Structure 1
């Protein structure tokens, strides 16, 4: 239990339904849907649509999504891959002929066909009770009328002014600058696009004037996209078989590659064969072991993770007991692994922006949902006629001929966004996630071990300080105790202060024994958990 004399907040308890998101209005929207007879999936879609309007730096309908859904009473976890594909003309020959060695984050070439809207419709048709016509109404209203900018949103927005100017996103810079906290921001063009989708379904996004606006914008900036690429995007979302690992009496579920959920399972698998650290959740041994397991997992991600339709991704080998045991054997409490190949360090910058939310309804259906533009405001490229900010998820590709993750026609890039689901005895016990792009596997595994191994409550597990190994450095938040930083340095890590906090999580624990829901919400974001 936390010290009530210190800053912080308690877990949230409820009985009939719960939602946890990174924006208060999105959480309230989800509860409104639940109380109006919608299920957890309906509530998640309505909430994320709101976030696409009022948290525009982190997410939007010009982005992608993934979902894990556990229908009550089925013992199943359903996974949906809502990530978009590269244009049909995106062949490595073209990039080599034009002397390109990497994709710039503000280039039209970093934009894949957005997958979110098609994914929302696919999910609702299969498992929802309501349709986009009803669920998009709160988002439409906020886009048309405007909504006050929240503190973290404003903080992020102010760091993206140059990108927005470069992308021609002048409507996102009222009076030439980023809105301040409390300023009301509206996007009437986006409101009209959402009205068309509400009226005609996802087809209105992938075909017709909206698609033409996005394609025209991208081609005007040198992109290879065509209206046919967007038309094919209507059917791009697909249900896939989730991957899972048994860990400490639970079954941890993730979406399979091209997402990086595999790394969560690898980190847990390595740590699971070790006893709890003797110095507890905040001790140097615990932190060091976790950092080392993450370094090994990220090394493998950069070598193997790709679109399985286009490349062999050895998921079974990477999750095998033999492989995880061999990797665990490299970890020693005496110091860092000195000979870890430098090629294993990710070439991607550590910070990306995403929204993660989770919802549990009165029937016990549990939804773990994530939606993203990748970087702050994605590519920064705005399709003015439709009000759609376009993501830059294509930065997950390599322009390296022969690499598993090399860009190719209609191929999905390596994806960072990952929802999580925890099951026990065939029942969902916790939808969870930690947003933050590249950081997410480290964040999810850190949260789970905080909660289930070291005994912190669900809110404390999100609150606890965070560290992240990347690029040969250990990025540490200001909340990491100075003594711990010194001890990690003594073990051979190279601590460096990070300007931005690591990630942002949400989680809902389903306490079947006591008949209640318990939730925590990320203090590094603007949101909260609420239930009824």
Structure 2
């Protein structure tokens, strides 16, 4: 139990249902859906789509999603891949011929076909209860009437708003200035899009006037996107990957998602007595940093569209982790892996919902960078993701850009199962940090016995691209000790990531936690 004389937040305890996410309006909307007779899938979709209005710098209907789902009355875990593909005419060779060594982050070249709307329609039909019109109604209302800009959103808007261009500026920053906290943001064009999707389903988005608006905007900038690319977009169900750590099974989304990176990190950490270390000391932070370097290096070399992966199980094999763990020197930091040629992912939203029937949904939804590509469609203001910047242009690489392929994705939903029972849907936002964040949250809870809210609140560190980010929650002594081990230690300008989780107790009681690093909360009823 936390010390009530110190700053912090209590977990949310409820019996009927909980939603945990990064904005309170989305959490309340999800609970409203549950109370009206919707299930966890209805609530998760409703909350997620609203987050595209509440946190437009993070996500939106021009982006992608991944989902893990445990149906009511079952401990099975299903995975749905709602990530879009490169347009059929996309070509790494063509970009190399232009003298490019990486996909332009804020160019039309980086725009992949949005996959989230197709996924939401499919999930609603297959697993929802109340239908798209009821699911989308709250977002339609908020998009028309507006939502007040929250503090973290305003902070991010100031940092990322400069990426908006053309129609993106007109729809998301018409005054040319960053909106202040409490200022209303409206998206009437997106309200009309959602109204049509509620009426006619996915075809309203991927065919006809709405698709034409996106295609025409991209082609006017030199894009190779076509109406056929949009019409052929399709999500698909797949099988999650898993690994065991400290008595729990971690389930992750398979490639093209990077979930296997979190499993590999934990498999490396198994070779060290993490539970015997000071949880907020330099020894644990150092070992975790070294494990992250090795796991992320493997990710960069192997994870791609599954059709392009020669060794799909390599990162899950115990012998892979054993070989990598042997490279770690407890007394000295290794050199950083070569930097990525593909773009570094920054922004994401996550939502998790468990309902009274114990359907559990773990959903992550993103436009990649802050405000995605910065490109919005002319008429409806659909902000388009730049997920194609996650491809590499390296010839012959599994993750090389190619028409119809999906890029390596950094967004990952997670779910824990123990002794065959679904224990906890969870997610950790924070761009590249996500795999490290999954590993740390699992370790916080199962090496050190922290309840979910305390495990989320705890200080974070992350070694990436030559720097070791160490939050202010660590002591200066720990930072100095890490520097003495050879780490290039910095205090990050922005808090590292954000997380949400819901534990399903054996007695049926739900316990939700939500990260104070974001504006959101957990709510139950």
Q: TM-score, normalising length from structure 2? A: 0.97
- Aligned residue number for residue 293 of structure 2: 295
2:383 match: secondary structure = strand
Structure-2 separation of matches of 1:522 and 1:293:
24
- Residue 159 of structure 1 and its aligned partner are, at CA, apart by 1.4
Is the aligned partner of 1:494 residue 2:488?
Answer: yes
- Equivalences, count: 525
| Unpaired runs of at least 5, structure 1 | none
- Aligned residue number for residue 152 of structure 1: 152
Structure-1 separation of matches of 2:352 and 2:82:
17
Q: Is the 8 A contact 2:42 2:129 kept in 1?
A: yes
- Aligned residue number for residue 190 of structure 2: 190
- Residue 524 of structure 1 and its aligned partner are, at CA, apart by 0.9
Structure-2 separation of matches of 1:242 and 1:377:
29
Q: Is the 8 A contact 2:92 2:393 kept in 1?
A: yes
Structure-2 separation of matches of 1:320 and 1:163:
40
In the superposition, relative to structure 1, how do residues 250 and 4 fare at CA in structure 2: closer, same or farther (>3 Å)?
Answer: same
Q: TM-score, normalising length from structure 1? A: 0.96
- For residue 318 of structure 1, the aligned residue among 282, 297, 315 is 315
Structure-1 separation of matches of 2:341 and 2:228:
32
Q: Is the 8 A contact 1:431 1:507 kept in 2?
A: yes
1:66 match: secondary structure = strand
Is the aligned partner of 1:485 residue 2:479?
Answer: yes
- Describe how 1:14-413 pairs up with structure 2 within 5 A: 14-165=14-165, 168-233=168-233, 236-312=234-310, 314-338=311-335, 342-343=337-338, 345-347=339-341, 352-413=346-407
- Residue 480 of structure 1 and its aligned partner are, at CA, apart by 2.5
Structure-1 separation of matches of 2:273 and 2:99:
51
Q: Is the 8 A contact 1:421 1:431 kept in 2?
A: yes
Structure-1 separation of matches of 2:156 and 2:413:
23
Structure-2 separation of matches of 1:321 and 1:440:
22
- Tell which deviates more after alignment, 300-309 or 168-177: 168-177
- For residue 464 of structure 1, the aligned residue among 458, 461, 472 is 458
Give CA deviations for 1:368-396 in whole Å, capped at 9, x if unaligned.
00000111110110113112001110110
- Tell which deviates more after alignment, 360-369 or 92-101: 92-101
1:194 match: secondary structure = helix
2:164 match: secondary structure = helix
- Residue 71 of structure 1 and its aligned partner are, at CA, apart by 1.3
Q: Is the 8 A contact 1:89 1:225 kept in 2?
A: yes
Q: Is the 8 A contact 1:81 1:238 kept in 2?
A: yes
In the superposition, relative to structure 1, how do residues 168 and 148 fare at CA in structure 2: closer, same or farther (>3 Å)?
Answer: closer
- Tell which deviates more after alignment, 192-201 or 240-249: 240-249
Q: Is the 8 A contact 1:102 1:399 kept in 2?
A: yes
- Residue 363 of structure 1 and its aligned partner are, at CA, apart by 0.8
- Residue 168 of structure 1 and its aligned partner are, at CA, apart by 4.2
Structure-1 separation of matches of 2:166 and 2:298:
35
- Aligned residue number for residue 518 of structure 1: 511
